[in-house]
């Protein structure tokens, strides 16, 4: 279900000439939730190990 309004945040990295989106979430507070930060870090680690 989509919400009518809100602010989204996307974490990404750039590998050469390619932008890789690691994780996206809806912003609900000033700080980045630790779970969302860990998800992005885990996906970055997986990308770097390939």
pLDDT for 7-43, tens place per residue? 899 999 999 999 999 999 998 888 999 999 999 999 9
Residue scoring higher pLDDT (9 or 1): 9
Q: Considering only CA atoms, which of 41, 45, 46, 4 is closest in space to residue 26?
A: 4
pLDDT of residue 13: 97
Rounded to a whole number of angstroms, the distance between the first and last alpha carbons of the chain is: 34
Q: What is the pTM of this model?
A: 0.78
pLDDT of residue 3: 57
Secondary structure (H, E, C), 5-40: CCEEEEEEEEECCEEEEEEEEEECCCCCCHHHHHHH
| Segments making up each domain of the chain, as ranges | 8-49
Which residues, listed in sequence order, are joined to residue 39 by a DSSP beta bridge?
none
């Amino acid at each position: 279900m989509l919400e009518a309004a809100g602010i989204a945040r996307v974490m990404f990295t750039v590998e050469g000439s390619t932008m890789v989106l690691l994780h996206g979430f809806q912003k609900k507070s000033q700080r980045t939730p630790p779970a969302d930060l860990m998800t992005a870090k885990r996906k970055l680690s997986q990308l770097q190990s390939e």
